[in-house]
């Protein structure tokens, strides 16, 4: 066998670790500080709301009163799924993972959008609005169809957070739950060049349409090393089963070299600021809803992972017990991530289109070379 021909003599950054693939001004991570458009996540989470964050991510600055009012009105008007689309979506199988359903449903939504093939900035902003207004409607529709219940129409006078909980359960949500959920939406809205945003940008870089880019992102988010981790965290806590078993469970899991879901991060090495906010929410909510052991087990794992492995929790770790306490089914946790992150994906897609060059890296060839084709009878 001939020697492999080297096309590149530098180091290969497996998983593109440390590679800067583009410039961005949407969100930034420096050590433990996450900023959206220059504002810290702590500041935004304490003072803003998800609708305002969408505006911020798409426009680069906070809206004034009339801009926010106009934007909220447009979002509300966009909270509408065509009846014939709902009819088709209701026929999709629901015995799949909801992320698989959501990926298909988002793709179908693109087929119903008259502006899908219009790649002008104006049309892409309209579509960003529709995608963000409707992602939660799709997730709620999935849950309702799976339960054999009818679709709950949103209340256009209410926020995305309020409506998501309302459409999911068919009853008006409690205002504390809405506030907590709105904060969760803010915390998950964007995160620099994460795997799903990068997938969206790669697809957009071929000048494909925004729906195709968002569908790529949903596919990337689904994986357990990315958004799928929040679902795995609650399954892990349920497998552990109680405070009396948590220590031995963790010892065995680490001895078996298992990855502990919700820990570690490619970029944050000194802690994820979103996990700190979510940890406080988890402590409060698990106590209020009568299952404090979910927080206690989480806290134990957090302390022990930090002490023994130097690994800290990421955004998915405490969000799991928060969503669990809100009574949300486990397999809907990752779709919730998409309900929020679609705002960040759209911001990244708009940014990519505005300063585009197709992503086309190289792969270092390590297979055989110089082979000669053999007719099938001679093999
Ligand atoms: N549990 C146990 N060990 C972990 C770990 C975890 N959650 N995360 C990282 N490690 C260990 C790895 O085993 C590896 O150890 P080694 O060098 O001895 O082989 C080291 O830490 C580096 O991890 P690696 O997987 O190479 O880091 P990465 O940057 O490629 O991956 C994640 C980052 C987030 C994918 C990874 O930490 C992970 O899989 N976490 C669990 C899934 C998760 O929570 N995902 C949500 C991310 S927001």
DSSP string, 106-130: HHHHHHT-TTTT--SHHHHHHHHHH
Which atom of ligand 1 is nearest the CA belonging to 194?
48
- pLDDT at position 5: 62
- pLDDT at position 156: 87
- pLDDT at position 4: 59
Q: Residue 147 and residue 73: Cα distance in Å, rounded?
A: 31
Name which of 142, 41, 149, 163 is nearest 97 in CA terms: 142
H or E element in which residue 27 lies: strand 27-30
Name which of 159, 311, 149, 323 is nearest 233 in CA terms: 323
- pLDDT at position 17: 94
Q: Residue 229 and residue 231: Cα distance in Å, rounded?
A: 5
- pLDDT at position 23: 97
Task: Please work out whether the CB of residue 195 comes within 6 Å of at least one atom of ligand 1.
Answer: no
Contacts of 308 by beta carbon, 8 Å cutoff, 6+ apart? 254
Residue owning the nearest CA to atom 27 of ligand 1: 266
Q: Residue 359 and residue 273: Cα distance in Å, rounded?
A: 30
Helix locations, the chain, DSSP H: 41-47, 50-59, 65-78, 83-89, 98-111, 121-146, 160-169, 175-188, 195-204, 210-221, 229-240, 243-255, 273-288, 293-309, 315-325, 333-354
The tens place of each residue's pLDDT in the chain, 379 residues long, gives: 555 566 677 788 999 999 999 999 999 999 999 999 999 999 999 999 999 999 999 999 999 999 999 999 999 999 999 999 999 999 999 999 999 999 999 999 999 999 999 999 999 999 999 999 999 999 999 999 999 999 999 998 999 999 999 999 999 999 999 999 999 999 999 999 999 999 999 999 999 999 999 999 999 999 999 999 999 999 999 999 999 999 999 999 999 999 999 999 999 999 999 999 999 999 999 999 999 999 999 999 999 999 999 999 999 999 999 999 999 999 999 999 999 999 999 999 999 999 999 999 999 999 999 999 999 999 9
Residue owning the nearest CA to atom 35 of ligand 1: 225
Asked if 142 and 100 touch (Cβ cutoff 8 Å), the reply is no
Asked if 42 and 277 touch (Cβ cutoff 8 Å), the reply is yes
pTM of the model: 0.96
Q: Taking the domains of the chain in order of start, what are their residue ranges?
A: 26-225+339-354, 229-325
Q: Residue 198 and residue 204: Cα distance in Å, rounded?
A: 10
Q: Is 229-325 CATH 3.30.70.270?
A: no
Q: Residue 228 and residue 138: Cα distance in Å, rounded?
A: 18
| CATH architecture of the domain with range 26-225+339-354 | Orthogonal Bundle (1.10)
Q: Residue 212 and residue 56: Cα distance in Å, rounded?
A: 24
Task: Please work out whether the CB of residue 323 comes within 6 Å of at least one atom of ligand 1.
Answer: no
Which atom of ligand 1 is nearest the CA belonging to 317?
44
- Identical fold between 26-225+339-354 and 229-325: no
Which atom of ligand 1 is nearest the CA belonging to 17?
29
Residue owning the nearest CA to atom 19 of ligand 1: 257
User: Which of 187, 233, 250, 264 should be mutated for ligand 1, with most atoms under 8 A from CB?
Assistant: 264
Task: Please work out whether the CB of residue 316 comes within 6 Å of at least one atom of ligand 1.
Answer: yes
- pLDDT at position 11: 82
Phi/psi for 160 (5° steps) reads -60, -40
């Amino acid at each position: 066998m001939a020697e492999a021909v080297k096309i590149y003599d530098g180091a290969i950054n497996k998983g593109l670790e440390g590679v800067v693939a583009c410039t961005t001004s949407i969100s930034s991570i420096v050590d433990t500080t996450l900023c959206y458009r220059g504002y810290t996540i702590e500041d935004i989470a304490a003072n803003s709301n998800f609708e305002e964050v969408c505006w911020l991510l798409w426009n680069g600055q906070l809206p004034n009163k009339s801009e926010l009012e106009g934007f909220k009105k447009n979002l509300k008007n966009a909270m509408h799924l065509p009846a014939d689309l709902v009819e088709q979506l209701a026929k999709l199988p629901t015995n799949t993972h909801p992320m698989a359903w959501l990926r298909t449903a988002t793709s179908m939504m693109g087929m119903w959008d008259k502006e899908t093939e219009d790649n002008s900035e104006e049309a892409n902003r309209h579509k960003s609005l529709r995608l963000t207004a409707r992602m939660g409607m799709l997730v709620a529709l999935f849950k309702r169809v799976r339960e054999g219940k009818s679709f709950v129409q949103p209340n256009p006078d209410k926020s995305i957070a309020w409506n998501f909980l309302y459409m999911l359960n068919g009853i008006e949500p409690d205002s504390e739950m809405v506030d907590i959920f709105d904060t969760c939406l803010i915390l998950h809205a964007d995160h620099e060049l994460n795997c799903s945003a990068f997938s969206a940008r790669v697809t957009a870089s071929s000048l494909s349409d925004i729906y195709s880019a968002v569908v790529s992102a949903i596919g990337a988010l689904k994986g357990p090393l990315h958004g799928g981790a929040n679902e795995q965290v609650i399954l892990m806590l349920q497998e552990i089963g109680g405070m009396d078993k948590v220590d031995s469970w963790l010892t065995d899991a680490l001895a078996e070299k298992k990855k502990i879901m919700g820990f570690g991060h490619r970029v944050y090495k000194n802690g994820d600021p979103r996990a700190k906010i979510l940890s406080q929410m988890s402590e409060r909510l698990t106590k209020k809803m009568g299952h404090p052991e979910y927080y206690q087990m989480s806290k134990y794992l957090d302390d022990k992972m930090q002490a023994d492995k130097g690994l800290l929790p990421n955004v998915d770790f405490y969000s799991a017990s928060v969503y669990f306490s809100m009574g949300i089914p486990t397999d809907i946790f990752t779709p919730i991530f998409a309900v929020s992150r679609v705002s960040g994906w759209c911001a990244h897609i708009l940014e990519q289109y505005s300063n585009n060059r197709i992503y086309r890296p190289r792969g270092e060839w390590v297979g055989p070379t110089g082979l000669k084709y053999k007719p099938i009878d001679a093999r």
